[in-house]
Amino acid sequence: MSFYKPSFRHPDSPTNALGLTRKAYEGGISTLCAGCGHDSISAAIIQAVWGLNIEPHRVAKMSGIGCSSKSPNYFLNKAHGFNSVHGRMPSVTTGANVANRDLLYIGVSGDGDTASIGMGQFAHVIRRNLNMTYIVENNGCYGLTKGQDSATADEGTQSKKGKINPFEAIDLVALALELGATFVARSFSGDKQQLVPLLKAAMSHKGFALIDIVSPCVTFNNHPGSTKSYDYTREHVEAGAVVDFVPMAQEITLDQIQGSTQNVTLHNGDSVQLSKLSDNYDPTDRVRAIQTLHEHKAKDRLLTGLIYLEPESENFHDILNIPDTPLNQLDQTTLCPGSDALAQINQGLK
Amino acid sequence: MKATDISNPEYFHKVVDCQYACPAHTPVPEYIRLIGQRRYSDAYMVNWESNVFPGVLGRTCDRPCEPACRRGRVDEEPVAICRLKRVAADHKDDANIATRLPAIPAKKNGKRIALIGAGPASLTVARDLMPLGYEIDLYDENAKAGGFMRSQIPSFRLPEEVLDQEVGYVLDMGVTQVFNTRVNSLREILDKQYDAVFVGTGAPKGKDLKIPGREAADANVHIGINWLESVAFEHTENIGKKVVIVGGGNTAMDCCRTAKRIGGEEVTVTVRSTYEAMKASPWEKDDTLAEGIPILANHSPREFIVEDGKLVAMTFNVVESSYDENGKRTITETGEIVTVECTDAIMAIGQDNAFPWIERDLGIEFGDWDMPVVDKHSFQSTNQKVFFGGDAAFGPENIITAVAHGHQAAISMDLFLSGKSVHDDRPAPGTNLVSTKMGIHEWAYDSQVIDDDRQASAHLPVEQALSSRKIESELGFSPEIAFTEAERCLNCDVQTVFVEEKCIECDGCTDICPTNCITFTENDEEENLRHKLNAPSNNKEQDLYVSYGLPTGRVMVKDEDVCLHCGLCAERCPTSAWDMQKYLYTVTKAGNQPAPILVEQAGRRTKQEEAA
């Protein structure tokens, strides 16, 4: 059993603009089951943050409880991190974000942590459009407690022991669209070509970005009858809008052109280049996005890719008029300007 | 690309870089693991089966394995393979080895063979053919066997006891020793009705330097290999105080270090090339410099200066080497002339073959440079009965090459004398591929890769080393250091074997691989495929391991180049589509003698080793 990864890397490992190889973005060796989709997502996060040239210590990894929430230990071990209470990752992230708005917040949650115990927090963090990337590692079961159906398990899906799930599933993407999320995507842990650019776009988005990622549980939910297995997902997946993330300085070249293309410029000048299956699909149109989502569901297809994007939205900091300087960097005289200033304010209220 | 055929014995053999680079294909990782387990006698036998002279080679090998070592491509330096081999020889249990040497049949098979020259090639032939019942006469002009291992390698690098022991293992098989007998006519040998003759006479003629003053200085100008031989056999016991060596190969290094031990006070090596381009092995250059012997690079010999009939100095043109885009070297004189005072000069500028003793009407065809025409695989000459090997076959190489030739020539001689084809009936290599899986994440080898740097071998203090030409200057690894060094081995013989049918394409292996060797992608031509991989794939000498098509239509492509054989791909594989399987490749010897795989089962340390 290996408890650590050898320290040698490929001698010609590419470096990013900071001169760092991907090794600087790695974490500890995973203790999740071999073949877990979560490990692929960790690897995709490493690729995305490295590719965005973000210094590892400018990232905060936030999580709750569950297999998914263990996974921040397996990437970016130079980043900040907070493994919070079950389902409470959004509120801890909100606090951290208010204290230091300069960090990149990556929340990693699971279907239990989000769609069951954390449902309330999930709904409210969307409403507030908190500037963060919210990743749901969605395997449709409680892997850490022997694989019981979770709230995202589809109705009629069969557990490993043969029991049929009688309850309707919560579709986190549909819910997020209803609640006004400004970046909504779905992906599959087994498709990094799609996932990495989506992660880059989500991390560059100013506001709340949800990526619901089907991440098969190899131990409890990868059998025939499951709708969250590798095979089922591969057979039913349909990419609505394939994304290529394009940094501002770079020329736009999309290598997967299918159907028509559309370019959406993000807040910071970077852009998201989309290639779409059909001309009718417009990921900046919320109503059409909801409609397309349901159409695919009715046809038993899993719509993936970038589903909805509102590039210019008011995020939590804008709404609350929080100063540009992170609160944790303000000195005492700025935070507490003294009696004279208070008197002035009071004067103004008279 | 077509899916890789891993049933081809050469595919995985090539992955074991060290073994593949070794002319004798010694299973290096196999014996290194045994050394790590302190099973020195087992490690010794794995070596002995393959290269006959582990103790000699552990001190003197040219080490083609080390530049090939995969660790050298990911770490600063390769595994110290050569010195580990010496550990097996130094710490083996002699009594145990004696019980494991092949049995020699009392009843002979009626075939008689003559071996000319008792160097490594002939001794290897004897080692392979004696157990098959051949009667062998071994001819040599010296009183003891060993050839150039004895005459050219100084005792401070290779102690006589080590050589005597390993030569003894072969001679004690019952080889008829016809020593102190110089063969001056091959016809005479053939007339003795031998069934086959093997010529292993080396490249015995040292090159001379034809520059002004050479003849006048003759009394104090020596030919390197002749001079070393004369020292080894104690015909020469001293040399003048100021010695100049001309030449930059390993013979030059041996000459200067010998001179320093028998009277040379100011010994200088001069070489025409740059320091970097010298032919001597880097470690021999290091040892030379450590003994206070300067190496003057870019010095091209110009003249011997003789005064009153005695050599007093040599002059040199200082030159510059430049290389064109094809790497071709041009040497130009700078005009500067340097004088080096000397009482003696030793020419170590190469050696040639010489066959004045082979009559040209014996059916042995001679080709370019007056070399015999010898088949590259069978080592048979155009006279079917006469075989060549070692330096005598294709010019000067090294001991390990001579051993490899000896094994192959022995196969040919046995086939020839059994009425079989020396080309078509050659035996296939022995191969064995077996899983090392012992549990979910457990392997029967140390899969974890350690970070330790290459261990250095201890040396005697210089003054002590220089006090005698018979004291071995390098002390070798202690068991503790040997263990650390053995653990540096990446176990490249433990292969990553991929089974398409089991793969669910979860990417677990791709994500964990420390060196990004594994990629799942659409298949393509090799050139294009190399561009699609997760990591740069610039080392074209290393193969791509390509699977058959997977359910998603992609293939698995593994670039063998910098795989650490750490087993993480197999540990992260939920379906055991990856497995770590130990591959043992052995060169089959004459008469299909059993491969050293038997050693593995012989296992267990001996009592003496246990006590140590």
Would you call A339 an interface residue with chain B, using a CB distance cutoff of 8 Å? no
Would you call A133 an interface residue with chain B, using a CB distance cutoff of 8 Å? no
The strand ranges marked E within A119-259 are 132-138, 141-142, 148-149, 183-188, 208-214, 237-246
A263 to chain B, closest Cα gap in Å: 26
pLDDT-derived band at B599 (thresholds 50, 70, 90) equals very low
Would you call A192 an interface residue with chain B, using a CB distance cutoff of 8 Å? yes
CB distance B448–A37 less than 8 Å?
no
pLDDT-derived band at A247 (thresholds 50, 70, 90) equals low
Would you call A230 an interface residue with chain B, using a CB distance cutoff of 8 Å? yes
User: Based on the number of CB atoms within 10 Å of its own CB, is B360 exposed (0-12), middle (13-18) or buried (19 or more)?
Assistant: exposed
A43 to chain B, closest Cα gap in Å: 6
Other CB atoms within a 10 A radius of the CB of residue A299 amount to: 10
As a whole number of angstroms, the distance between CA B45 and CA B30 comes to 11
Percent of chain A with pLDDT over 70: 93
B499, part of any domain: no
ipTM of the complex: 0.89
Q: What is the pLDDT of residues A116-152, one digit of tens each?
A: 999 999 999 999 999 999 999 999 999 999 999 999 9
Here the contacts of B218-221 (C-beta below 8 Å, separation 24 or greater) are B219/B310, B219/B311, B220/B310, B220/B311, B220/B342, B220/B343, B220/B344, B220/B345, B221/B304, B221/B311, B221/B344, B221/B345, B221/B346, B221/B347
Domain boundary among B298, B331, B349: B349
Residue A296 or A88, more confident: A88
CB distance B574–A35 less than 8 Å?
yes
Q: Cα angle at B272 between B268 and B278, to 5 degrees? A: 85
Domain boundary among B349, B382, B399: B349
Q: Which residue is closest to A190 within chain B, CA to CA? A: B506
- For residue B190, give the nearest of B363, B69, B416 by alpha carbon: B363
Which residues on chain B are in Cβ contact (under 8 Å) with A13? 516, 535-536
CA distances from B46 to B10, B69, B100, B153, B402 (A): 20, 19, 11, 24, 18
One domain, residues B336 and B215: yes
A98 to chain B, closest Cα gap in Å: 34
Query: How much is the average pLDDT of A177-196?
Result: 94
- For residue A72, give the nearest of A88, A85, A60 by alpha carbon: A60
One domain, residues B409 and B328: no
Stated as kind and residue range, the H or E segment containing B285 is helix B282-290
Angle between helices B28-36 and B81-91 (to 10 degrees): 50
- β B344-347/B242-246 pair status: parallel
Other CB atoms within a 10 A radius of the CB of residue B190 amount to: 17
- For residue A197, give the nearest of A252, A273, A261 by alpha carbon: A273
As a whole number of angstroms, the distance between CA B406 and CA B403 comes to 5
Q: What is the pLDDT of residues B56-70, one digit of tens each?
A: 999 999 999 999 999
As a whole number of angstroms, the distance between CA B78 and CA B158 comes to 23
Mutate which: B70, B506, B512, B538, vs A, most A CBs within 10 A: B506
Domain boundary among B312, B328, B349: B349
Domain residue ranges of chain A, discontinuous segments joined by +: 22-329
CB distance B536–A10 less than 8 Å?
yes
Would you call B441 an interface residue with chain A, using a CB distance cutoff of 8 Å? yes
B29, part of any domain: no
B9, part of any domain: no
- Provide the CA A29 distance to its chain's centre, in angstroms: 21
> Two tokens at B429?
């290599």
Q: What is the pLDDT of residues B354-388, one digit of tens each?
A: 899 999 999 999 998 889 999 999 999 999 999 99
Query: How much is the average pLDDT of B286-314?
Result: 94
Per-residue HEC secondary structure of A247-282 comes to CCCCCCCCCCCCCEEEEEECCCCCEEEEEECCCCCC
- β B494-498/B578-586 pair status: antiparallel
Residue B157 or A274, more confident: B157
Percent of chain B with pLDDT over 70: 97
CB distance B514–A9 less than 8 Å?
yes
User: Based on the number of CB atoms within 10 Å of its own CB, is B435 exposed (0-12), middle (13-18) or buried (19 or more)?
Assistant: middle
pLDDT of A239 reads 79
Give residue B198's domain range. Answer: 112-204+353-417
Q: Cα angle at A100 between A94 and A101, to 5 degrees? A: 75
pLDDT of B212 strictly over 80: yes
Q: What's the domain count of chain B?
A: 2
Which residues on chain B are in Cβ contact (under 8 Å) with A15? none
B484, part of any domain: no
Q: Which DSSP letter does residue B180 get? A: S
Q: Which residue is closest to A11 within chain B, CA to CA? A: B74
One domain, residues B215 and B190: no
One domain, residues B268 and B297: yes
pLDDT of B488 reads 97
Q: Which CATH class, in words, describes the domain spanning A22-329?
A: alpha beta
Would you call A28 an interface residue with chain B, using a CB distance cutoff of 8 Å? no
As a whole number of angstroms, the distance between CA B388 and CA A249 comes to 68
Query: How much is the average pLDDT of B239-252?
Result: 95
One domain, residues B288 and B273: yes
Which range, of A49-63, A117-131, A335-349, B556-570, averages the lowest pLDDT? A335-349
As a whole number of angstroms, the distance between CA B247 and CA B345 comes to 11
CB distance A2–B451 less than 8 Å?
no
Q: Cα angle at B90 between B87 and B91, to 5 degrees? A: 85
b/e string for A125-160 if b means 16 or more Cβ within 10 A?
bbebbbbbbbbbbbbbbbbbeebebbbbbbeebbbb
B578, part of any domain: no
Please report, to the nearest 10 degrees, the dihedral formed by the alpha carbons of residues B512, A247, A177, A218 taken in order: -10
Angle between helices B120-129 and B399-417 (to 10 degrees): 40
Would you call B78 an interface residue with chain A, using a CB distance cutoff of 8 Å? no
Any bridge partners for residue B305, and if so which?
Answer: B313
pLDDT of B600 strictly over 50: no
As a whole number of angstroms, the distance between CA B18 and CA B24 comes to 11
Helix/strand number for chain B, H first, E second: 25, 25
One domain, residues B194 and B256: no
As a whole number of angstroms, the distance between CA A234 and CA A229 comes to 8
One domain, residues B404 and B314: no
pLDDT of A257 reads 43
Angle between helices B160-171 and B120-129 (to 10 degrees): 40
Would you call A4 an interface residue with chain B, using a CB distance cutoff of 8 Å? yes
Would you call B305 an interface residue with chain A, using a CB distance cutoff of 8 Å? no
CB distance B508–A39 less than 8 Å?
yes
CB distance B512–A29 less than 8 Å?
yes
CA distances from A252 to A246, A262, A274, B309 (A): 6, 11, 11, 83
B357 to chain A, closest Cα gap in Å: 54
- Per the CB < 8 A criterion, the answer to whether A222 and B575 are in contact is no
Percent of chain B with pLDDT over 90: 91
pLDDT-derived band at A103 (thresholds 50, 70, 90) equals very high
As a whole number of angstroms, the distance between CA B170 and CA B118 comes to 11
CB distance A2–B564 less than 8 Å?
no
Stated as kind and residue range, the H or E segment containing A104 is strand A104-110
Any bridge partners for residue A276, and if so which?
Answer: A241, A260
pLDDT of B596 strictly over 80: no
Query: How much is the average pLDDT of A62-67?
Result: 96
- β A302-309/B295-296 pair status: unpaired
The CATH number of residue B295's host domain is 3.50.50.60
pLDDT of A266 strictly over 80: no
As a whole number of angstroms, the distance between CA B155 and CA B163 comes to 10
Would you call A347 an interface residue with chain B, using a CB distance cutoff of 8 Å? no
CB distance A34–B571 less than 8 Å?
yes
As a whole number of angstroms, the distance between CA B281 and CA B23 comes to 17
- β A183-188/A302-309 pair status: antiparallel
A-B CB pairs within 8 A amount to: 103
- Per the CB < 8 A criterion, the answer to whether B220 and B243 are in contact is no
Which residues on chain A are in Cβ contact (under 8 Å) with B503? none
Q: What is the pLDDT of residues B301-314, one digit of tens each?
A: 999 999 998 999 99
B333, part of any domain: yes
> Two tokens at B18?
């060290």
> Two tokens at B151?
């005459």
Phi, psi of B385 (to 5 degrees): -80, -15
As a whole number of angstroms, the distance between CA B335 and CA B318 comes to 7
One domain, residues B263 and B156: no
B281, part of any domain: yes
Q: What is the pLDDT of residues B78-95, one digit of tens each?
A: 999 999 999 999 999 999
Residue linked to tokens 């006479």: B201
Would you call B539 an interface residue with chain A, using a CB distance cutoff of 8 Å? no
- Per the CB < 8 A criterion, the answer to whether B118 and B147 are in contact is yes
Would you call A39 an interface residue with chain B, using a CB distance cutoff of 8 Å? yes
B14 to chain A, closest Cα gap in Å: 20
As a whole number of angstroms, the distance between CA B291 and CA A14 comes to 43
Would you call B512 an interface residue with chain A, using a CB distance cutoff of 8 Å? yes
End-to-end CA distance of chain A: 72
pLDDT of B608 reads 53
Average pLDDT of chain B? Answer: 93
Which residues on chain A are in Cβ contact (under 8 Å) with B506? 35-37, 40, 189-190, 216, 218, 230
Average pLDDT of chain A? Answer: 90
As a whole number of angstroms, the distance between CA B412 and CA B380 comes to 7
CB distance B507–A218 less than 8 Å?
no
As a whole number of angstroms, the distance between CA A326 and CA A100 comes to 5
pLDDT-derived band at A238 (thresholds 50, 70, 90) equals confident
Which residue in B510, B535, B566 is closest to A6 by CB distance? B566
**3-class DSSP assignment, residue A302:** strand
As a whole number of angstroms, the distance between CA B556 and CA B546 comes to 6
Which residues on chain B are in Cβ contact (under 8 Å) with A11? 73-74, 562
CB distance B575–A216 less than 8 Å?
no
Would you call A43 an interface residue with chain B, using a CB distance cutoff of 8 Å? yes
Which residues on chain A are in Cβ contact (under 8 Å) with B574? 33-35, 218
pLDDT-derived band at B603 (thresholds 50, 70, 90) equals very low
A22 to chain B, closest Cα gap in Å: 10
As a whole number of angstroms, the distance between CA A297 and CA A240 comes to 12
CB distance B442–A1 less than 8 Å?
yes
Phi, psi of B302 (to 5 degrees): -120, -45
CB distance A8–B538 less than 8 Å?
no
Query: How much is the average pLDDT of B582-602?
Result: 71
Which residue in B73, B442, B505 is closest to A190 by CB distance? B505
Would you call B277 an interface residue with chain A, using a CB distance cutoff of 8 Å? no
Instruction: Note which residues in 545-584 of chain B have CB less than 8 A from chain A.
Output: 551-552, 562, 564, 566-568, 571-575
pLDDT of A254 reads 43
Angle between helices A89-99 and A119-127 (to 10 degrees): 40
CB distance B572–A13 less than 8 Å?
no
Would you call A82 an interface residue with chain B, using a CB distance cutoff of 8 Å? no
CB distance A43–B510 less than 8 Å?
yes
